[in-house]
């Protein structure tokens, strides 16, 4: 028993003298693998003999940072630090070109489209190129003077090599060196490498390469040129220095470039005033946006060298965005449909800030200054029509209502001016075709004239000729015969190339063809001899039936009839006169009773008869339809100066005004 007490006392002393755990570092009981059933307030042992201090039993539940100690910031995994050192190519450094001692083989300038063009060079040119390329790869730059073919062959060789090694920084340096030797390669090199950087989302590279060419005199004077042309003050010149002029086909037109820069200067200077009115400054807004560019877009650490570089140059990117919006406004003003690629940012916070602080005010200021954009002059109009072949559709209305409101003369004058400004339009034939289709409904002769112009342009420009559609043929031609006549005129132009002569014939296309009548006097005399005896006998019979004293002293001369001659022309023979037709109460002109009846039928049928109705009428009267219709048209042409009866193959119609005119004669 005594031994047992000693053992218990021994363990109690050991337990009592053990190190006491600290509340903040004590592990929860639930993590003890040996006490599966213990609760958080239970002691380690259930036997009551051991009594621990209350402070040890109670687990401290207050956070260990009640009094805020130093806590290191949790790293933001969305931010990466690429490098703390700035590696930047110096594009403005002075480059010394070496002279080639043996003389450069002359290679007349040609357009180079690939490295394979080297196969067209002679032996000496190929040998020099190989030496030139080897020296270039050693970073030894030669002065090739004006022999640009070698530089462009090397340009394509460098692009082919990049497809294999995929080292963008190497290509960037090489193309920059090449531009220092041959500045004419600069635009091609800059465009190519910036496209790659855009695809790779290398925004730092895009900012870096925007200054390409600053060291070359050929491209450096643009700021001085426009500073003097626009007469800018110091403050306006500041905004011009923020951007680099990246010309394209539209802004490459001098007039367009001037208007874009004018609008850009007006908008940026107004933006500076606007920010002041809002209780801030343009500089403060740019600092906020550049900070977001560095952290959210480029993901640079705060105050790192790359961050500081972006804070200095990021405003250039933002002002170039303003310039692009100004260019788009001028394009819209000039009805130029091709759009500018406007930069957007994937980061929502950055895009929202740029929109709120920059783009919204810029859009508002552009709208206020739209009326200050000058209308393009004539050379600019011609150039824009070359670039945008359908631009004329935005400038001219081929509309019947507009045609009637303007009047035919004014409409034709506007159209002539439009065609003159589109004289160099690669799709001029399309303009002629659309005009021809429009005139088919209002003026058939003018429609044929413009269709002939369309045909001529297709032949001159070797474009695909689209024949006239069936619907248009029905509008313009009375039947297949007229279609064949018009096609014959087009074929005649192909043979003779005499468009003026063809145009003159087309102008008379709808003029009625008058048949020429030749009097064969010999045939008339022969007919008189043949019928003289017969006429005398008939007169004797008539004299017997008449009262005495009523017989004429001289027989009446027989009437003339048309007899076809052997050569195909008509001759006049004589026949006994037919009894005179009674006068028609409707018409005070000499027409046959059958013709008068036909005109009455037209009047009763609202001046329109179907082709079948006219056929039936002529068949019952024993006449040829074409003879009757053509006779009426020719008889009244001198009065109306137009055709009385017109046909569209299915119907025959008379203009009611023409009908009233012939009744009133």
Per-residue pLDDT tens over the stretch 593-645: 888 888 888 888 888 888 888 888 888 888 888 888 888 888 888 777 788 88
pTM above 0.85, yes or no: no
| Domain-embedded: residue 461 | yes
Element (H, E) at 563: strand 559-564
Note whether 266 and 359 are same-domain residues.
Answer: yes
pLDDT digits (tens, 9 = 90+) for 265-276: 999 999 999 999
| Domain-embedded: residue 484 | yes
Percent of the chain beyond pLDDT 70?
Answer: 74
Q: Please report the pLDDT score of residue 467 as a whole number.
A: 87
**Cross-strand bridge partners of residue 564:** 570
Distance between CA 175 and CA 195 in Å, rounded?
14
Note whether 465 and 599 are same-domain residues.
Answer: no
Compute the half-sphere exposure of residue 380: CA atoms within 13 Å on the CB side of its CA: 19
Q: Please report the pLDDT score of residue 96 as a whole number.
A: 73
E strands, 165-255, are: none
Q: How far apart are the first and last CA of the chain?
A: 161
Residues sharing a CB contact under 8 Å with residue 292, sequence separation 6 or more, in sequence order = 347, 349, 350, 353, 354
Q: What is the DSSP letter of 60?
A: P
SS3 content of the chain, % helix, strand, coil (to 5): 60, 5, 40
Note whether 264 and 336 are same-domain residues.
Answer: yes
CA 527 to chain centre: 76
* Range in 2-6, 313-317, 499-503 the model is least confident about: 2-6
Q: Does the CA dihedral 214-216-218-223 come out positive or negative?
A: positive
Note whether 225 and 349 are same-domain residues.
Answer: yes
Note whether 351 and 265 are same-domain residues.
Answer: yes
Q: Please report the pLDDT score of residue 620 as a whole number.
A: 82
Residues sharing a CB contact under 8 Å with residue 573, sequence separation 6 or more, in sequence order = 523, 524, 527, 560, 561, 562, 563
| Domain-embedded: residue 226 | yes
Note whether 194 and 254 are same-domain residues.
Answer: no
Residues sharing a CB contact under 8 Å with residue 326, sequence separation 6 or more, in sequence order = 260, 263, 264, 267, 366
Q: Please report the pLDDT score of residue 57 as a whole number.
A: 36
| Domain-embedded: residue 653 | yes
Distance between CA 370 and CA 270 in Å, rounded?
14
Compute the half-sphere exposure of residue 531: CA atoms within 13 Å on the CB side of its CA: 19
The answer to whether the beta carbons of residues 332 and 351 sit under 8 Å apart is no
61, 185, 639 from 10: Cα distances, Å: 34, 95, 149
Q: Which of 372, 399, 422 is the last residue of a domain?
A: 372
Note whether 170 and 268 are same-domain residues.
Answer: no
pLDDT digits (tens, 9 = 90+) for 279-313: 999 999 999 999 998 898 888 888 887 788 788 77
Q: Are strands 608-610 and 559-564 parallel, antiparallel or unpaired?
A: unpaired
Note whether 502 and 527 are same-domain residues.
Answer: no
Local structure of 647: helix, strand or coil: strand
* Range in 1-5, 36-40, 511-515 the model is least confident about: 36-40
| Domain-embedded: residue 99 | no
Note whether 555 and 489 are same-domain residues.
Answer: no
- Dihedral (C-alpha) 321, 322, 323, 329: value to the nearest 10 degrees? 110
**Cross-strand bridge partners of residue 654:** 645
The answer to whether the beta carbons of residues 321 and 329 sit under 8 Å apart is no
Reduce the secondary structure of 285-311 to three states and give it as a string.
HHHHHHHHHHHHHCCCCCCCHHHHHHH
Q: Which of 149, 179, 209 is the last residue of a domain?
A: 209
Note whether 242 and 311 are same-domain residues.
Answer: yes
Find the mean pLDDT for residues 580-604.
69
Max CA separation in the chain (angstroms): 199
| Domain-embedded: residue 10 | no
- Of the candidates 192, 163, 160, which has an alpha carbon nearest to the alpha carbon of residue 179? 192
As given in the structure block, the two tokens for residue 352 are 């929202």
Domain that holds residue 613: 593-663
The answer to whether the beta carbons of residues 639 and 662 sit under 8 Å apart is yes
Element (H, E) at 573: strand 570-575
Note whether 412 and 337 are same-domain residues.
Answer: no
Distance between CA 488 and CA 500 in Å, rounded?
15
Distance between CA 188 and CA 377 in Å, rounded?
30
* CATH number of the CATH domain containing 612: 1.10.10
Confidence of residue 128 (pLDDT cuts 50, 70, 90): very high
Local structure of 571: helix, strand or coil: strand
Q: Which of 307, 340, 372 is the last residue of a domain?
A: 372
Distance between CA 300 and CA 83 in Å, rounded?
9
Distance between CA 75 and CA 393 in Å, rounded?
59
Note whether 468 and 415 are same-domain residues.
Answer: yes
Q: Please report the pLDDT score of residue 79 as a whole number.
A: 46
Q: How many domains does the chain have?
A: 6
| Domain-embedded: residue 359 | yes
pLDDT of 571 higher than 50: no
| Domain-embedded: residue 333 | yes
């Amino acid at each position: 028993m005594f031994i047992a007490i000693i053992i218990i006392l021994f363990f109690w002393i050991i337990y009592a003298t053990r190190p006491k755990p600290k509340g903040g570092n004590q592990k929860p009981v639930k993590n003890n693998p040996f006490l599966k059933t213990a609760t958080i307030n239970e002691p380690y042992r259930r036997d009551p003999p051991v009594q621990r201090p209350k402070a040890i039993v109670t687990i401290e539940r207050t956070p260990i940072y009640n009094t805020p100690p130093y806590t290191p910031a949790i790293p933001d995994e969305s931010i990466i630090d690429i490098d703390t050192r700035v590696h930047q190519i110096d594009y403005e450094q002075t480059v010394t070109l070496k002279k080639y001692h043996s003389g450069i083989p002359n290679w007349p300038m040609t357009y180079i489209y690939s490295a394979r063009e080297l196969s067209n060079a002679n032996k000496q040119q190929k040998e020099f190129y190989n030496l030139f390329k080897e020296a270039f790869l050693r970073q030894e730059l030669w002065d090739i003077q004006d022999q640009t073919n070698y530089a462009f062959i090397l340009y394509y060789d460098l692009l082919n090599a990049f497809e294999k090694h995929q080292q963008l920084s190497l290509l960037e340096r090489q193309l920059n060196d090449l531009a220092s030797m041959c500045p004419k390669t600069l635009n091609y090199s800059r465009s190519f490498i910036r496209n790659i950087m855009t695809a790779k989302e290398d925004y730092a590279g895009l900012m870096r390469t925007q200054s390409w060419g600053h060291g070359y005199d050929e491209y450096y004077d643009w700021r001085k040129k426009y500073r003097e042309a626009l007469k800018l003050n110091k403050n306006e010149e500041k905004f011009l220095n923020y951007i680099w002029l990246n010309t394209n086909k539209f802004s490459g037109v001098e007039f367009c470039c001037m208007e874009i820069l004018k609008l850009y200067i007006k908008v940026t200077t107004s933006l500076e005033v606007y920010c002041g009115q809002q209780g801030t400054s343009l500089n403060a807004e740019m600092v906020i946006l550049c900070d977001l560019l560095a952290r959210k877009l480029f993901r640079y650490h705060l105050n790192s060298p790359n961050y500081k570089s972006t804070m200095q140059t990021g405003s250039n990117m933002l002002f170039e965005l303003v310039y692009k919006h100004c260019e788009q406004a001028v394009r819209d003003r000039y009805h130029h449909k091709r759009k500018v690629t406007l930069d957007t940012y994937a980061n929502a916070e950055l895009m929202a800030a740029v929109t709120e602080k920059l783009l919204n005010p810029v859009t508002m200021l552009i709208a206020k200054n739209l009326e200050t954009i000058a209308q393009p002059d004539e050379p600019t109009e011609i150039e824009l029509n070359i670039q945008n072949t359908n631009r004329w559709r935005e400038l001219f209305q081929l509309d019947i209502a507009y045609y009637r409101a303007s009047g035919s003369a004014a409409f034709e004058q506007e159209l002539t001016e439009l065609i003159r400004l589109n004289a160099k339009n690669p799709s001029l034939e399309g303009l002629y075709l659309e005009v021809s289709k429009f005139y088919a409904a209002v003026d058939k002769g003018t429609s044929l004239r413009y269709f002939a112009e369309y045909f001529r342009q297709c032949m001159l420009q070797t474009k695909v000729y689209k024949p006239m559609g069936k619907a248009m043929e029905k509008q313009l031609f009375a039947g297949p015969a007229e279609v064949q006549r018009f096609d014959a005129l087009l074929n005649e132009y192909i043979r003779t190339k005499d468009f003026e002569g063809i145009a003159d014939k087309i102008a008379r296309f709808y003029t009625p063809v008058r048949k020429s009548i030749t009097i064969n006097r010999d045939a008339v005399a022969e007919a008189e001899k043949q019928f003289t005896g017969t006429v005398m006998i008939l007169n004797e019979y008539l004299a017997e039936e008449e009262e005495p004293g009523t017989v004429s002293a001289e027989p009446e001369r027989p009437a003339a009839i048309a007899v076809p001659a052997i050569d195909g022309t008509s001759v006049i023979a004589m026949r006994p006169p037919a009894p005179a037709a009674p006068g028609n109460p409707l018409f005070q002109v000499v027409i046959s009773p059958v013709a008068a009846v036909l005109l009455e039928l037209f009047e009763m049928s609202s001046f329109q008869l179907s082709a079948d109705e006219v056929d039936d009428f002529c068949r019952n009267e024993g006449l040829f339809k074409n003879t009757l219709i053509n006779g009426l048209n020719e008889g009244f042409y001198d009065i109306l100066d137009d055709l009385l009866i017109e046909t569209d193959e299915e119907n025959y119609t008379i203009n009611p005004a023409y009908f009233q005119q012939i009744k009133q004669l």
